[in-house]
């Protein structure tokens, strides 16, 4: 009975204080998550307020909040969506995690922490909080492609966290990490996911549909939650996180087609326990420890907010997302959470880190949790500002990148392409593993090798070390060159499939777009491989050499990327000029007067001929702004056409003076004929945003507008 009283008291204190703080934050028009964290600080053991809740009880209940939040997230994110965003989210997560692990390690070493403490610090700042983002997105009603991409990145990060825990445990206990052990860890994870997903796809959707047909809302709720907690228990029993199991359960339930009904039933229960989870985060904040290590806390907060925003945004940008989506994704993921706590606690329990690292991680998580809703809200205006300041050649390239990917997906030989890409990916992996093995081997064997060199050549210790370094560099150089070459092979395979060369003996009209696509893919592929190599080998390097090599390689590729973007801009400008001239001729009836909408083919197929002349600029589509259209009277930056839709305005045809490749400050006018380019979905979205209508060359009202 004493246990029941303690449980009831803890629940009363937590929910009572949380109710007051959330009402206050709602009145202040702030996210309620901040109110929950403040409530946790109040009822926690570190603030002298006579309202203390039992931490163990609250932590146990908070686990239920994590499970239910992840289950609800899975309901919105079916396996089909996961497959769609998987490649993009995977590359983005790899780039982000690599950069953050390296930055965290460098910051730890700058504070004088040990190598192992710095490695743990890097892993801690690499993990974003799925739970915090899920709640913030729900509060702010974030939906659509942004949510899908963010959730995909988070899921890949969770898989990385599982791998981090296995590797760091082996390193901290002195067991080391052999290739066999690492392969076994990955194999077990893959087998677990395969069994869970394969068996789940056979049973869960059918079971949910059966319950829905034969039962009531009550039985649907109970059955769905039974599946949720069952999968969470299976994941925990297999040594993985309950969040992973709950997310998979939600995704499997979503495959039944009853996700909306289940989500409506689960929402009240989810909100209750999610509130307790965020209160538990606030209870972990110890103001005294935070004050003692305030410099490290401030540095790591800046590292997480700025570093993650930039790293995630860069990864999303390189994988073909527009500027707006990339910036919003980066700013949404700028925090650390539950997995960071687990990694920090793991380091302390293994004796690999001193006790200060855990409160630092909790303080950074608490502050970045506070800033997450504000960053998500500010990401839209920030994206608009960045897009306006971005060089025009990059804006054009990013907009057309979507149309190239669309052409790639519809290419007739894409199945053969898959075989070629797998071969290149294997070659990239072999090169990366070789570079890592040589670097770590040279570092670990340096004392013995240095003595042997000194004895053999009669050289001093410093000379022997330089000889060893030169030998390791020469040994690794072919594999580094292989990384760059295989990245180029990957780019050539994709570029030649999306934008094939014309017939022999004819001008290669797609050369400029193809070179631009090649440059983007090569830069992205090389970065996705070199950055993890740097993150893994940094603890074994003196500091400067590895970073210098990576920056040199990426700098050379960046120069090529910049030049190809400039060449593409010229190609697009020439195409825009020809398109505007063709529209002018067609709108005036080509001088024939009184042309009818059913004009002869030689006049109506002008755009088709131009598309053949300028491949790689998508499907140029003319649309017309009427009087009163939402886009009239606003600049392109105010409307955010490129950022919000992914389409680009190639040209504006208007009476008096036409505009080729307009800047973001260009103001649209009624009667303007805009030529949109990009993927089909992007062009349709831009037309809806502008409130424009399809433009029919030669139509009478079009001629009148241009004549007036």
Give the CATH number, domain containing residue 703: 3.30.70.1450
pTM listed for this prediction? 0.76
CA dist 370 → 77, 93, 364 (Å):
26, 23, 10
Q: How many domains does the chain have?
A: 3
Considering the domain architecture, whether residues 168 and 50 belong to the same structural domain is answered as: yes
Q: How far apart are CA 215 and CA 219, in angstroms?
A: 6
- Per-residue pLDDT band at 167 (split at 50, 70, 90): confident
Residue 398 lies in a domain: no
Q: What is the pLDDT of residues 57-78, one digit of tens each?
A: 887 888 888 788 778 878 876 6
| pLDDT score recorded for residue 132 | 78
Q: DSSP state, 622?
A: E
Q: Is the pLDDT of residue 83 over 80?
A: no
Q: What is the mean pLDDT of residues 154-160?
A: 79
Q: What is the mean pLDDT of residues 500-511?
A: 69
Q: What is the mean pLDDT of residues 6-25?
A: 87
236-243: Cβ within 8 A, 24+ apart: 238/192, 240/162, 240/189, 240/192, 241/158, 241/161, 241/162, 241/339, 241/342, 242/63, 242/66, 242/67, 242/70, 243/66, 243/67, 243/70, 243/130, 243/131, 243/158, 243/338
| pLDDT score recorded for residue 588 | 61
Residue 584 lies in a domain: no
Q: Is the pLDDT of residue 10 over 80?
A: yes
Residues linked to residue 405 through DSSP beta bridges, in sequence order: none
- Per-residue pLDDT band at 704 (split at 50, 70, 90): very low
- Per-residue pLDDT band at 699 (split at 50, 70, 90): very low
Q: What is the mean pLDDT of residues 123-141?
A: 81
Considering the domain architecture, whether residues 374 and 508 belong to the same structural domain is answered as: no
- Per-residue pLDDT band at 446 (split at 50, 70, 90): confident
Closest CA to 311 of 33, 534, 621, 98: 98
Give residue 207's domain range: 2-389
Q: How far apart are CA 173 and CA 162, in angstroms?
A: 17
Q: DSSP state, 46?
A: T
Q: Report residue 47 as tokens.
A: 């603030």
Q: What is the pLDDT of residues 84-94, one digit of tens each?
A: 667 788 888 88
Considering the domain architecture, whether residues 455 and 497 belong to the same structural domain is answered as: yes
Which residue among 541, 576, 611 closes a domain? Answer: 576
| Maximum mean pLDDT: which of 129-138, 452-461, 526-535 | 526-535
Q: How far apart are CA 553 and CA 555, in angstroms?
A: 5
Residue 289 lies in a domain: yes
| pLDDT score recorded for residue 390 | 76
Q: Report residue 329 as tokens.
A: 């994704």
Count, residues in the chain: 708
CA dist 345 → 121, 198, 240, 353, 617 (Å):
12, 33, 16, 9, 52
Considering the domain architecture, whether residues 369 and 451 belong to the same structural domain is answered as: no
| pLDDT score recorded for residue 700 | 40
Residue 190 lies in a domain: yes
Cα-trace Rg, the chain: 29
| pLDDT score recorded for residue 54 | 79
Which range is least confidently modeled, 15-24, 87-96, 625-634, 647-656?
A: 647-656
Residue 378 lies in a domain: yes
CA dist 20 → 25, 48, 282, 347, 694 (Å):
9, 18, 15, 36, 54
Residue 125 lies in a domain: yes
Considering the domain architecture, whether residues 363 and 229 belong to the same structural domain is answered as: yes
Considering the domain architecture, whether residues 175 and 271 belong to the same structural domain is answered as: yes
Considering the domain architecture, whether residues 358 and 416 belong to the same structural domain is answered as: no
Q: How many beta carbons lie within 10 A of that of residue 23, not counting itself?
A: 12
Considering the domain architecture, whether residues 425 and 536 belong to the same structural domain is answered as: yes
Which range is least confidently modeled, 155-169, 405-419, 559-573, 596-610?
A: 596-610
Residue 671 lies in a domain: yes
Q: What is the pLDDT of residues 483-492, one digit of tens each?
A: 888 888 888 8
End-to-end CA distance of the chain: 87
Q: How far apart are CA 248 and CA 79, in angstroms?
A: 9
Considering the domain architecture, whether residues 604 and 545 belong to the same structural domain is answered as: no
- Per-residue pLDDT band at 186 (split at 50, 70, 90): low
**CATH code for position 347:** 1.20.1530.20
Which residues, other chains included, contact 108 with Cβ-Cβ below 8 Å and sequence gap of 6+? 117, 118, 119, 121, 122
Residue 592 lies in a domain: no
Q: How many beta carbons lie within 10 A of that of residue 263, not counting itself?
A: 18
Q: What is the pLDDT of residues 312-325, one digit of tens each?
A: 988 888 877 777 88
| pLDDT score recorded for residue 601 | 42
Which residue among 531, 560, 576 closes a domain? Answer: 576
Q: What is the mean pLDDT of residues 364-375?
A: 84
Considering the domain architecture, whether residues 412 and 267 belong to the same structural domain is answered as: no
- Per-residue pLDDT band at 597 (split at 50, 70, 90): very low
| pLDDT score recorded for residue 596 | 41
Closest CA to 231 of 208, 260, 264, 212: 208
H-helix or E-strand containing 216? Answer: none
Q: How far apart are CA 632 and CA 689, in angstroms?
A: 11
Q: How far apart are CA 475 and CA 471, in angstroms?
A: 6
Q: Is the pLDDT of residue 604 over 70?
A: no
Which residue among 560, 576, 592 closes a domain? Answer: 576
Q: Is the pLDDT of residue 300 over 90?
A: yes
Q: What is the mean pLDDT of residues 422-431?
A: 85
Considering the domain architecture, whether residues 95 and 146 belong to the same structural domain is answered as: yes
Mean pLDDT of the chain: 79
Considering the domain architecture, whether residues 225 and 356 belong to the same structural domain is answered as: yes
| pLDDT score recorded for residue 527 | 84
Q: Is the pLDDT of residue 656 over 70?
A: no
| pLDDT score recorded for residue 299 | 93
Q: Is the pLDDT of residue 524 over 80?
A: yes
Q: Higher confidence at residue 527 or residue 135?
A: 527
Q: Is the pLDDT of residue 18 over 80?
A: yes
Q: Is the pLDDT of residue 689 over 80?
A: yes
Q: Is the pLDDT of residue 595 over 50?
A: no
Share of the chain above pLDDT 90, in %: 4
- Per-residue pLDDT band at 590 (split at 50, 70, 90): very low
Contact 32, 22 (CB under 8 A): yes
Q: Higher confidence at residue 378 or residue 289?
A: 378
Contact 498, 410 (CB under 8 A): no
Q: What is the mean pLDDT of residues 184-204?
A: 80
Closest CA to 451 of 441, 442, 461, 443: 461
Q: What is the mean pLDDT of residues 446-470?
A: 78
Q: How far apart are CA 614 and CA 596, in angstroms?
A: 27
């Amino acid at each position: 009975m004493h246990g029941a009283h303690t449980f009831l008291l803890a629940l009363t204190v937590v929910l009572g204080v949380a109710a007051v703080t959330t009402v206050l934050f709602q009145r202040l028009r702030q996210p309620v998550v901040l109110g929950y964290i403040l409530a946790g600080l109040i009822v926690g053991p570190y603030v002298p307020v006579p309202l203390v809740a039992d931490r163990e009880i609250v932590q146990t209940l908070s686990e239920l909040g994590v499970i239910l939040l992840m289950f609800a997230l899975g309901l919105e994110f079916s396996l089909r969506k996961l497959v769609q965003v998987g490649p993009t989210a995977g590359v983005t997560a790899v780039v982000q995690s690599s950069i953050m692990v390296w930055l965290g390690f460098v910051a730890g070493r700058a504070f004088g922490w040990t190598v192992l403490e710095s490695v743990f610090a890097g892993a801690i700042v690499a993990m974003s909080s799925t739970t915090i983002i899920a709640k913030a997105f729900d509060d702010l009603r974030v939906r659509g492609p942004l949510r899908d991409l963010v959730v995909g990145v988070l899921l890949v990060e969770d898989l990385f966290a599982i791998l981090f825990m296995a590797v760091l445990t082996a390193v901290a206990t002195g067991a080391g990490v052999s290739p066999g052990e690492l392969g076994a860890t990955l194999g077990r994870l893959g087998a677990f996911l395969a069994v869970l997903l394969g068996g789940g796809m056979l049973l869960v959707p059918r079971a949910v549909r059966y319950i829905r047909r034969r039962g009531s809302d009550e039985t649907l709720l109970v059955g769905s939650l039974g599946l949720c907690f069952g999968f969470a228990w299976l994941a925990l029993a297999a040594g993985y996180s309950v969040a992973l199991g709950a997310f998979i359960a939600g995704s499997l339930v979503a495959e039944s087609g009853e996700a909306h009904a289940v989500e409506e039933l689960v929402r009240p229960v989810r909100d209750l326990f999610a509130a307790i989870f965020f209160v538990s985060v606030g209870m972990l904040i110890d103001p005294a420890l935070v004050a003692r290590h305030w410099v490290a806390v401030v540095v790591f907060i800046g590292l997480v907010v700025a570093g993650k925003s930039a790293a995630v945004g860069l990864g999303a940008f390189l994988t073909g997302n527009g500027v707006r989506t990339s910036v919003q994704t980066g700013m949404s993921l700028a925090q650390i959470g539950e997995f960071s706590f687990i990694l920090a606690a793991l380091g302390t329990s293994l004796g690999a880190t001193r006790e200060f690292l855990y409160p630092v991680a909790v303080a950074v998580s608490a502050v970045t949790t506070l800033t997450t809703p504000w960053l998500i809200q500010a990401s839209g205006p920030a994206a608009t500002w960045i897009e306006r300041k971005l060089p025009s050649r990059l804006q054009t390239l990013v907009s057309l990148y979507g149309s190239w990917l669309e052409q790639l997906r519809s290419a007739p030989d894409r199945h053969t392409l898959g075989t070629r890409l797998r071969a290149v990916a294997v070659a990239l992996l072999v090169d990366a593993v070789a570079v890592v093995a040589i670097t770590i081997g040279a570092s670990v064997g340096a004392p013995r090798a240095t003595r042997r060199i000194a004895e053999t050549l009669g050289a001093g210790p410093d000379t022997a070390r330089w000889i060893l370094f030169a030998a390791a560099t020469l040994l690794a150089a072919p594999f580094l060159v292989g990384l760059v070459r295989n990245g180029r092979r990957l780019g050539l395979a994709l570029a030649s499939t999306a934008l094939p060369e014309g017939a022999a003996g004819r001008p290669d009209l797609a050369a400029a777009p193809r070179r631009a696509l090649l440059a983007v893919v090569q830069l992205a592929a090389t970065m996705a491989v070199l950055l993890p190599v740097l993150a893994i080998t940094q603890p074994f390097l003196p500091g400067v050499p590895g970073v210098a090599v990576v920056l040199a390689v990426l700098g050379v590729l960046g120069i090529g990327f910049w030049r190809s973007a400039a060449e593409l801009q010229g190609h697009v400008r020439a195409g825009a000029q020809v398109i505007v001239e063709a529209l002018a001729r067609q709108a005036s009836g080509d001088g024939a007067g009184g042309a009818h909408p059913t004009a002869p083919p030689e006049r109506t197929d002008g755009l088709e001929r131009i598309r053949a002349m300028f491949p790689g600029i998508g499907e140029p589509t003319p649309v017309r702004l009427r009087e009163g259209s939402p886009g009239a009277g606003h600049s392109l930056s105010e409307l955010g056409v490129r950022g919000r839709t992914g389409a680009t305005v190639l040209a504006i045809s208007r009476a008096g003076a036409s505009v080729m490749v307009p800047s973001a400050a260009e103001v649209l006018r009624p009667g303007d004929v805009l030529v949109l380019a990009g993927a089909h979905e992007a062009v349709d979205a831009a037309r809806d945003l502008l409130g424009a209508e399809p433009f029919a060359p030669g139509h009478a009202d079009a001629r009148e507008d241009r004549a007036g």
